[in-house]
């Protein structure tokens, strides 16, 4: 018995020894192939145990000694492609992993500027919060867009001048609704704000080229805005400033859906008095927005929208006049998730814009622009392919009544129809394409269908460095009253080519871009006064944008260069474009403190082109002076410059986080001349300066909930 | 199906040997009880037990080992598993909290990034898995803790994920627990604090009372820490008696829960 026990004991000992002898270690390091960053990936024996590498990517795995000398391992980290390798114990192993290719939906292929907080778009961003915090943005998403590359607008205009294009070459789309009148005032020089309330905006993008074929009737760019949806908890607040009040509320309604809404009221009295700017000018604004969302089951949703905007402007003298506009829309949309890969959206909207202009005893204008829009959109997400197609319809009626000596009434009606399709697809791990097109027609033209083929490509040189190329044809039908009077016209055309490079890393965005935009079929008046498609032009330029962001500060620099000439309207020779701001640059620095922030912005830009007055001739027949103009747009206004300062201070008041904010516009009180006006006899010229002299703005915001 | 039956059987064995009550004989019981299971299920059962041990003791090494076992199970699964991805993220969640308690934000950031990715994948693989949405909402809150400058954008986003989670799985107690935890940590001026957290935690308490752990592979954690959070909420409301009662309840559910013991000791010391 004792000998048996001894044998068992010896066998056990030898077994332990054998087991110990069979265990060997595999050591190594796991790296990202591209960036050489260490990866804390998981390494496992095939059909066996495994271990995670440490933060330095190093691992030491105990494995049974392989009879063949090598052992099969699998290495994996989420977001990376799994790798199977054969390892030899005793040899230090270096494993390189490749990222999983991103699904097509996550890559921005077109060379555009996008505003979003998504991490995977690999394009320059301007977050919705930056619309509030950056100086000189007036908490307005359109005004904030001026700091994006490709937007050449002088900071005084709400309108976006994109890559040398005219302000009306940009389409403004709000949750799929095309807004023809997105500004409180439609003048390039005196519009202060857009009708979009940043409080109800979820995200927005400004496309400077390569924009989606679902957007038509725009030659230069698209601003696409999405309203907030699905508030998860009640939020909102009340703001009071020297310009009036703003309020916002969003909340879920248990068992029904949700609501998002805002109401704002503004008046210039205190603002102008505080800043000693009377001038007999006064304006008031009022804006209300509401959006209700009702889920129907788990896969259908109905949304009902409404917006009403009222703007009144009065001038006491030189000349005295009143302008008021009422801008409204109502819409209903239905979204249906047909499967987890296919979504269908339908939208029906009714829009109305009323303008009343009264210049006592001289001129009265009444205008109503009414439109019905409908659209159907299908979205298919198939990982490698992101497919979108649909159709849109618009019927628009413009009634204008002009009373000078006698009343003149005009009515124009146009019906537009469009179809589009686009496939954004991944050709390889690094190459993504957008291939699409749009077919559209307007009955006012009687010229059949206009086809817009569009193509974009993105090459992910590394995951941080993206090259993009876009080429496409864009059509715009133009002013309906001009088309109604000239039914033989074709739509205006622009052909875009753009090449851009983006470097996007955590807290750092860089873009460099060059582009060429060739205009054809622009409207040109012939010698007989009829409008033709004989106009043409070009805009060529380059952009540079850099943004650095950390927890404590943010710095941004954008520079745009554009050369543009046009032969258009009454200018029959190729002349500098009135929209070409050759050089424009903006620098912003903002600091964040524990209880507040401070921001400084400086913008400088070339002056706008204008046509010089060379002299005047006496017309004995009309008994008045006739101006003698120089070459069209051959001179420029003085260079534009403006410095803005803003700050916030967060305090606790009655248990609420109250924000007190201030802004000083045009700190240096630079006199920026935007255009010139002449006396009736053309004997003297008067500078028309920007209304943005040095002004102080104060306000506070109290959250409701 | 065979695997599930084997799990039920093993669970019964483990239950009778005291594992469910978290007895000190855990490791031996697991070893014995899981021998008959497939390697994948075995990894999961072992991982869950190790995770619990690690959380009880505040031991990041055990939690890390549990995470490795979940990873191993996921790697060897023939199909994507939203629950396993959730389990890995849950281990990440524990590691983040331990790293933050050790003032190691860099360590927390690593697990934060990975945990979010696993949850994004889990939500994609099973869009009806409400608990993954709730945990993702909580991760966004943790991201704010590590990167305070992201608070303005992530704060509302996290609430959206909680709302989606509740819509998908209204009777899941862990969704309400996570919302309660989150709300407790949010400053009162921004809509948080104990008064706003308590309704969530109390709702979770009611739902835990009705929960039947039918599938041991599915998430079953949280009842013990619910009472700790209730204790913390009452302590912040200056109600030490109620806080003590809740912490005692936590220890009744899980006598090995180190955090409950520590909070109880701190409460007694503050008297």
pLDDT digits (tens, 9 = 90+) for A40-69: 999 999 888 889 999 899 999 988 888 888
Measured N-to-C along each axis, helices B223-236 and B240-253 cross at an angle, to the nearest 10 degrees, of 170
How far, in whole angstroms, is CA A268 from its chain's centroid? 28
- What is the per-residue pLDDT for A560? 95
B189 contacts in chain A (CB < 8 Å): 652, 655-657
Give the gap in angstroms from C-alpha A44 to the nearest C-alpha of chain B.
7
User: Which range is most confident: A31-35, A176-180, A281-285?
Assistant: A176-180
- What is the per-residue pLDDT for A670? 92
A371 touches A351 (CB < 8 A)? yes
Query: H/E/C letters for each residue in B75-134?
Result: HHCCCCCHHHHHHHHHHHHHHHHHHHHCCCHHHHHHHHHHHHHHHHHHHHHCCCCHHHHH
Are A67 and A120 in the same domain?
no
**Strand-strand pairing, A624-629 and A613-619:** antiparallel
CB < 8 Å from B in window 436-465 of A: none
Are A533 and A670 in the same domain?
yes
CATH assignment at residue A73: 2.60.40.1120
CATH of B171-271, one of 1.10.287.980, 1.25.40.10, 3.40.630.10, 3.40.50.1980: 1.25.40.10
Distances in whole angstroms, Cα of residue A643 to Cα of each of A135, A147, A669, B128: 9, 14, 8, 52
Give every residue of chain B whose pLDDT is below 70, as ranges.
1-37, 271
Q: Which two three-digit tokens encode residue A514? A: 């060059």
Per-residue model confidence as pLDDT tens digits over A582-620: 999 999 999 988 888 999 999 999 998 999 999 999 999
Residue recorded with tokens 């803005």: A644
Torsion angle in degrees (nearest 10) through CA of A182, A185, A188, A192: -90
User: Chain A residue with minimal CA distance to B157?
Assistant: A232
Give the end-to-end CA distance of chain B in Å, rounded to a whole number.
54
Number of A–B residue contacts, CB under 8 Å: 71
Q: Which two three-digit tokens encode residue B102? A: 């050790």
Are A56 and A185 in the same domain?
no
- What is the per-residue pLDDT for A187? 56
Mean pLDDT of A523-542: 94
Q: Of A63, A97, A131, which residue is a domain's last?
A: A97
Mutation target vs B (from A232, A293, A343, A701; most B CBs, 10 A cutoff): A232
B163 contacts in chain A (CB < 8 Å): 230, 232-233, 252
- What is the per-residue pLDDT for A186? 66
Collapse the DSSP code of A273 into the 3-class scheme (helix H, G, I; strand E, B; otherwise coil) and give the result: helix
User: Chain A residue with minimal CA distance to B75?
Assistant: A76
* CB-based contact B106 A55, cutoff 8 Å: yes
CB < 8 Å from A in window 165-204 of B: 187-191
A5 touches chain B (CB under 8 A): no
A76 contacts in chain B (CB < 8 Å): 71, 75
Q: Of A97, A127, A143, which residue is a domain's last?
A: A97
Separation of alpha carbons B84 and B74, rounded Å? 6
User: Chain A residue with minimal CA distance to B189?
Assistant: A656
A235 contacts in chain B (CB < 8 Å): 156
Are A51 and A82 in the same domain?
yes
Give the gap in angstroms from C-alpha A284 to the nearest C-alpha of chain B.
31
Give the gap in angstroms from C-alpha A129 to the nearest C-alpha of chain B.
7
A40 vs B110, B162, B190: nearest CB: B110
* CB-based contact B149 A551, cutoff 8 Å: yes
Average pLDDT over all residues of chain A: 87
Per-residue model confidence as pLDDT tens digits over A127-178: 777 887 788 877 788 888 888 888 887 767 778 889 999 989 999 999 999 9
Mutation target vs A (from B159, B186, B195, B197; most A CBs, 10 A cutoff): B159
Task: Look at A372-381, A628-637, B1-10 and tell me which has the smallest mean pLDDT.
Answer: B1-10
* CB-based contact A230 B163, cutoff 8 Å: yes
B117 vs A78, A117, A655: nearest CB: A78
Are A117 and A82 in the same domain?
no
Are A146 and A193 in the same domain?
yes
User: Chain A residue with minimal CA distance to B43?
Assistant: A49
CB < 8 Å from B in window 118-157 of A: 127-129
Are A325 and A256 in the same domain?
yes
- What is the per-residue pLDDT for B29? 43
B76 contacts in chain A (CB < 8 Å): 44, 47
Are A317 and A294 in the same domain?
yes
Contacts by A263-268, CB closer than 8 A, 24 or more apart: A263/A287, A263/A288, A263/A289, A264/A197, A264/A288, A267/A243, A268/A243
B1 touches chain A (CB under 8 A): no
- Helices and strands (H and E) in chain A: how many: 5, 41
Is residue A534's pLDDT more than 90?
yes
A507 contacts in chain B (CB < 8 Å): none
Is residue A14's pLDDT more than 50?
no
* CB-based contact A50 B160, cutoff 8 Å: no
User: Chain A residue with minimal CA distance to B192?
Assistant: A705
Is residue A10's pLDDT more than 50?
no
Which has more confidence, B131 or A192? B131
A652 touches chain B (CB under 8 A): yes
Per-residue model confidence as pLDDT tens digits over A99-123: 888 888 778 887 566 655 554 456 7
Are A250 and A156 in the same domain?
no
Per-residue model confidence as pLDDT tens digits over A357-375: 999 888 899 999 999 999 9
Give the gap in angstroms from C-alpha A586 to the nearest C-alpha of chain B.
24
Are A660 and A549 in the same domain?
yes
Torsion angle in degrees (nearest 10) through CA of A186, A190, A192, A196: 10
- What is the per-residue pLDDT for A539? 97
B75 touches chain A (CB under 8 A): yes
A655 touches chain B (CB under 8 A): yes
B44 contacts in chain A (CB < 8 Å): none
* CB-based contact A117 B127, cutoff 8 Å: no
Q: Of A40, A70, A97, which residue is a domain's last?
A: A97
A264 touches A247 (CB < 8 A)? yes
Mean pLDDT of A416-432: 94
Are A27 and A58 in the same domain?
yes
Are A195 and A231 in the same domain?
no
pTM for the structure as a whole: 0.81
Q: In chain A, how many domains are there?
A: 3
Percent above pLDDT 70 for chain A: 93
B67 contacts in chain A (CB < 8 Å): 52
Is residue A437's pLDDT more than 70?
yes
Is residue A635's pLDDT more than 60?
yes
* CB-based contact B117 A652, cutoff 8 Å: no
A78 contacts in chain B (CB < 8 Å): 114, 117-118, 121
DSSP secondary structure string for all residues of B207-242: HHHH-----TTS----HHHHHHHHHHHHHHTT-HHH
Separation of alpha carbons A104 and A108, rounded Å? 8
A44 contacts in chain B (CB < 8 Å): 71-72, 75-76
Which residues 6+ apart lie within 8 Å of B96 measured at CB? Answer: B108, B111, B112, B115, B142, B146
User: Chain A residue with minimal CA distance to B151?
Assistant: A129
User: Chain A residue with minimal CA distance to B150?
Assistant: A551
Is residue A31's pLDDT more than 60?
yes
A50 touches chain B (CB under 8 A): yes
- What is the per-residue pLDDT for A458? 92
Q: Work out the number of other CB atoms within 10 angstroms of the CB of residue A141.
A: 23
B146 touches chain A (CB under 8 A): no
B188 contacts in chain A (CB < 8 Å): 655
- What is the per-residue pLDDT for A278? 60
Domain that holds residue A35: 2-97
B107 contacts in chain A (CB < 8 Å): 55
Residues in chain A: 705
- What is the per-residue pLDDT for A329? 97
A524 touches A533 (CB < 8 A)? yes
A256 touches chain B (CB under 8 A): no
A42 vs B39, B71, B147: nearest CB: B71
Mutation target vs A (from B124, B133, B189, B200; most A CBs, 10 A cutoff): B189
A420, HSE (Cβ side, Cα atoms, 13 Å): 30
- What is the per-residue pLDDT for A121? 59
User: Chain B residue with minimal CA distance to A229?
Assistant: B160
- What is the per-residue pLDDT for B192? 86
Collapse the DSSP code of A288 into the 3-class scheme (helix H, G, I; strand E, B; otherwise coil) and give the result: strand
- What is the per-residue pLDDT for A118? 52
B78 touches chain A (CB under 8 A): no
CATH assignment at residue A144: 2.170.130
The model's confidence at residue A280, banded by pLDDT at 50, 70 and 90, is confident
CATH assignment at residue A484: 2.40.170.20
Phi, psi of A704 (to 5 degrees): -75, -40
Q: Which two three-digit tokens encode residue B86? A: 């959730």
* CB-based contact B72 A705, cutoff 8 Å: no
Per-residue model confidence as pLDDT tens digits over A478-504: 999 899 888 789 999 999 999 999 998
């Amino acid at each position: 018995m004792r000998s048996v026990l001894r044998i068992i004991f010896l066998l056990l000992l030898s077994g332990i020894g054998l087991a110990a002898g069979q265990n060997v270690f595999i050591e190594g390091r796991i790296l990202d192939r591209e960036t050489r960053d260490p990866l804390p990936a998981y390494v496992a024996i095939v059909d066996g145990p495994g271990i995670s590498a440490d933060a330095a990517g190093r691992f030491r795995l105990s494995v049974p000694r392989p009879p063949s000398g090598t052992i099969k391992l699998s290495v994996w980290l989420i977001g990376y492609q799994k790798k199977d390798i054969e390892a030899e114990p005793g040899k230090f192993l270096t494993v390189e992993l490749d990222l999983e290719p991103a699904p097509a939906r996550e890559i921005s292929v077109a060379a555009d500027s996008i505003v979003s907080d998504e991490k995977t778009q690999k394009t320059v961003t301007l977050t919705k919060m930056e619309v509030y915090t950056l100086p000189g943005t007036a908490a307005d998403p359109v005004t904030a867009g001026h700091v994006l590359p490709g937007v050449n607008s002088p900071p005084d205009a709400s309108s976006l001048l994109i890559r040398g294009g005219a302000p009306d070459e940009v389409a403004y789309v709000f949750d799929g609704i095309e807004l023809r009148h997105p500004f409180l005032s439609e003048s390039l020089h005196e519009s202060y704000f857009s009708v979009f309330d940043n409080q109800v905006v979820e995200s927005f993008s400004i496309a400077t080229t390569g924009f989606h074929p679902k957007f038509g009737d725009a030659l230069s760019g698209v601003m696409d805005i999405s309203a907030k949806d699905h508030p998860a908890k009640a939020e909102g607040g009340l703001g009071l400033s020297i310009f009036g009040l703003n309020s916002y509320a969003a909340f879920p309604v248990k068992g029904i859906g949700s609501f998002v809404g805002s109401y704002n009221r503004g008046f210039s009295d205190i603002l102008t008095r505080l800043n000693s700017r009377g001038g007999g000018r006064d304006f008031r604004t009022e804006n209300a927005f509401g959006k209700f969302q009702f889920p129907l089951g788990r896969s259908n949703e109905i949304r009902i929208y409404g917006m009403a905007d009222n703007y009144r402007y009065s001038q006491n003298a030189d000349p005295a006049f009143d302008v008021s506009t009422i801008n409204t829309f109502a819409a209903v949309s239905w979204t249906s998730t047909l499967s987890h890969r296919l979504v269908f959206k339908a939208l029906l909207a009714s829009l109305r814009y009323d303008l009343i202009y009264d210049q006592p005893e001289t001129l009265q204008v009444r205008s109503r622009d009414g439109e019905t829009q409908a659209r159907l959109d299908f979205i298919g997400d198939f990982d490698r392919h992101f497919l979108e197609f649909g159709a849109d319809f618009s019927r628009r009626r413009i009634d204008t009544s002009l009373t000078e000596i006698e009343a003149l009434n005009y009515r124009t009606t146009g019906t537009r129809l469009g179809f589009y399709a686009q496939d954004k697809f991944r050709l390889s791990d690094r190459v993504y394409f957008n291939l699409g097109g749009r077919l559209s027609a307007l009955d006012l033209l009687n010229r059949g269908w206009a086809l817009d083929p569009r193509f974009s490509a993105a090459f992910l040189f590394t995951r941080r460095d993206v090259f993009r190329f876009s080429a496409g044809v864009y059509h715009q039908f133009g002013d309906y009253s001009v088309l109604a009077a000239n039914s033989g016209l074709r739509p205006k055309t622009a052909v875009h080519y753009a090449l851009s490079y983006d470097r996007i890393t955590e807290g750092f965005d860089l873009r460099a871009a060059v582009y060429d935009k060739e205009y054809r079929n622009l409207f040109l008046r012939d010698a007989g006064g009829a409008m033709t498609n004989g106009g043409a032009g070009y805009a060529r330029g380059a952009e540079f944008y850099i943004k650095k962001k950390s927890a404590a500060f943010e710095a941004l620099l954008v520079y745009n260069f554009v050369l543009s000439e046009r032969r258009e309207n009454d200018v029959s020779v190729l002349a500098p474009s009135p929209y070409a701001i050759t050089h424009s640059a903006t620098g912003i620095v903002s600091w964040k403190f524990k209880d507040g922030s401070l921001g400084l912005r400086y913008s400088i830009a070339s002056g706008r082109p204008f046509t010089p007055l060379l002299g005047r001739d006496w017309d004995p027949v009309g008994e008045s002076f006739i101006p003698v103009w120089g070459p069209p747009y051959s001179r420029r206004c003085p260079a534009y410059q403006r410095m803005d300062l803003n700050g916030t201070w967060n305090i606790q008041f009655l248990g609420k986080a109250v924000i007190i904010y201030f802004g000083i516009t045009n700190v240096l009180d630079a006199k920026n001349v935007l255009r010139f006006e002449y006396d009736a006899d053309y004997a003297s010229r008067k500078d028309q300066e920007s209304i943005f002299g040095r002004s102080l703005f104060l306000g506070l915001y109290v959250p409701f909930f | 199906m065979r695997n599930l039956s084997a799990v039920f059987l093993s669970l019964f064995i483990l239950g009778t040997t005291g594992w469910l009550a978290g007895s000190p004989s855990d490791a031996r019981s697991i070893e014995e009880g899981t021998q008959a299971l497939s390697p994948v299920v075995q990894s999961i059962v072992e991982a869950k037990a190790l995770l619990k041990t690690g959380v009880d003791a505040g031991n990041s090494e055990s939690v890390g080992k549990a995470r490795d076992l979940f990873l191993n199970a996921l790697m060897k699964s023939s199909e994507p598993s939203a629950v396993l991805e959730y389990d890995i993220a849950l281990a990440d969640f524990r590691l983040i909290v331990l790293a933050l308690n050790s003032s190691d934000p860099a360590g927390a950031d690593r697990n934060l990034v990975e945990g979010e990715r696993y949850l994004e994948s889990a939500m994609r693989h099973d869009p009806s898995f409400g608990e993954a949405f709730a945990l993702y909402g909580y991760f966004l809150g943790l991201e704010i803790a590590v990167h305070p400058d992201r608070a303005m954008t992530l704060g509302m986003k996290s609430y959206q994920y909680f709302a989606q989670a509740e819509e998908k799985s209204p009777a899941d107690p862990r969704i309400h627990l996570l919302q309660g935890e989150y709300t407790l940590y949010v400053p009162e001026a921004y809509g948080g604090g104990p008064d706003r957290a308590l309704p969530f935690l109390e709702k979770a308490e009611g739902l835990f009372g009705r929960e039947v752990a039918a599938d041991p592979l599915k998430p079953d954690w949280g009842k013990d820490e619910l009472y700790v959070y209730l204790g913390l909420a009452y302590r912040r409301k200056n109600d030490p008696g109620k806080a003590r009662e809740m912490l005692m309840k936590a220890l009744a559910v899980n006598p090995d829960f180190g955090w409950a013991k520590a909070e109880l000791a701190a409460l007694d010391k503050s008297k």
